[in-house]
Amino acid sequence: MLEIQDLSIRFSRFQRGMKQVQTEVLHHLSLSIHAEEIVAVVGSSGSGKSLLAHAILGILPGNARVSGHMEFKGEALTPKRQKQLRGREIALIPQSVQYLDPLMSVGEQVRQAVRQGDPVEKQRGAFRRFHLAQQVADFFPFQLSGGMARKVLVSTATVSGARLFIADEPTPGLDAPAMKETLGRFRLLAEEGGAVMLITHDIEAALTVADRVAVLYAGTVVEIACRSDFADHGSGLRHPYTKALWSALPSQHFTATAGSQPLPGEKLEGCAFASRCEAATQECRIQFPGLRGVRNGKTRCLHAT
């Protein structure tokens, strides 16, 4: 359904003296999502998850320079096509509730997203599923709690009849039943032939529904793993960063890794994780590892087996 190859994003800005500088925030990112599949995209804050979502939808700010190739349903995803498909075949569940129109009732916003069938019925159905009282339909965004707003955003996307859903952190602020309902809804959308990109910090929640997990580090994919690779304390994982991310979780003994992710624009040679990696060799500090197939997944690590 969606095929991304070597996606890079640079931001240009002017420094003192009108010197234009470029900061690369995503580089050589490749990822695909098939119909009937949920792919979780995980990575720490600033790794480029939201920019990836915005690049797919074609809603990056004007000073972003994009290179690489994207295809949706086998055809190039050009800016023109992105505009046509946005909100129709490709739906975004945005990270920020500021994407709601402040001047329109939330019921109206959900109804406007409906392309097929009865908008009123669909909006009511969505509200029922998420245990939102029907009166909430007449509320304006400022009257919503954080959790309610998030439910409205998910409702808006799920009534749209889209084929590809890009959910950017859809679960923070949701109580356990609403989180379960949201993730369950994604599973249903996938079963109905849709494809879901689930961007999240919460790997454990993601693993309850995701088929595959793409791990982002410093603006690129360092591993694409299957759900089963995380079992047995992550014995099937390939990249040292994924292993570190996984073992830092409470359920996996909280083993933290020292250091932090490099910031965009920090000049790096070799593997971006090398300075924090116990297995790093001289080679890792020089050579940027390509994304290669290891077992039934992919990784950017010279030493992974």
Is residue 45 a contact point for ligand ATP (CB under 6 A)?
A: yes
Give the separation between CA 193 and CA 37, rounded to whole angstroms: 8
Beta strands 75-76 and 64-72 are antiparallel
Task: Give which of ligand ATP, Ni ion, none residue 47 binds (C-beta under 5 to 8 Å, depending on kind).
Answer: ligand ATP
Task: Give which of ligand ATP, Ni ion, none residue 185 binds (C-beta under 5 to 8 Å, depending on kind).
Answer: none
Task: Go through 151-187 and write b for each residue having 16 or more CB atoms within 10 A of its CB, e for each that does not.
Answer: bbbbbbbbbbbbbbbbbbbbbebbeeebbebbbebbe
Is residue 173 a contact point for ligand ATP (CB under 6 A)?
A: no
Give the shortest CB-90-to-ligand ATP separation in angstroms. 18
Is residue 94 a contact point for ligand ATP (CB under 6 A)?
A: no
Contacts of 127 (CB under 8 A, 6+ apart): 107, 110, 133, 134, 136, 137, 155
Segment interacting with ligand ATP, rule: CB under 6 A, options 44-52, 103-111, 152-160, 187-195: 44-52
Is residue 47 a contact point for ligand ATP (CB under 6 A)?
A: yes
CA-angle at 224, arms to 221 and 227, nearest 5°: 140
Q: Which C-beta is closer to Ni ion: that of 92 or that of 106?
A: 92
Q: Which of 2, 25, 55, 137 binds ligand ATP (CB under 6 A)?
A: 25
Give the shortest CB-122-to-ligand ATP separation in angstroms. 29
The separation between the first and the last C-alpha atoms of the chain, rounded to the nearest angstrom, is: 29
- β-partners of residue 39 are 197, 212
Give the separation between CA 258 and CA 139, rounded to whole angstroms: 46
Is residue 98 a contact point for ligand ATP (CB under 6 A)?
A: no
Q: Which C-beta is closer to ligand ATP: that of 54 or that of 185?
A: 54
Is residue 50 a contact point for Ni ion (CB under 5 A)?
A: yes
Structure tokens at 115: 């392309």
How big is the chain, counted in residues? 305
Give the shortest CB-62-to-ligand ATP separation in angstroms. 9
Query: Which among 198, 156, 148 has a CA at the least distance from the CA of 173?
Result: 148
Give the shortest CB-143-to-ligand ATP separation in angstroms. 25
Is residue 220 a contact point for Ni ion (CB under 5 A)?
A: no
**Residue 38: HSE in the Cβ half-sphere, 13 Å Cα cutoff:** 25
Task: Give which of Ni ion, ligand ATP, none residue 27 binds (C-beta under 5 to 8 Å, depending on kind).
Answer: none
Is residue 61 a contact point for ligand ATP (CB under 6 A)?
A: yes
| Helix segments in 95-249, DSSP class H | 106-112, 119-129, 146-158, 176-191, 203-207, 231-234, 240-247
Is residue 46 a contact point for ligand ATP (CB under 6 A)?
A: yes
Give the shortest CB-249-to-ligand ATP separation in angstroms. 16
Q: Which C-beta is closer to Ni ion: that of 31 or that of 284?
A: 31
**Distance from the Cα of residue 213 to its chain's centroid:** 10
**What is the contact surface with Ni ion in residues (CB under 5 A)?**
49-50, 95
Residues that bind ligand ATP (CB under 6 A): 11, 25, 43, 45-51, 61, 95, 264
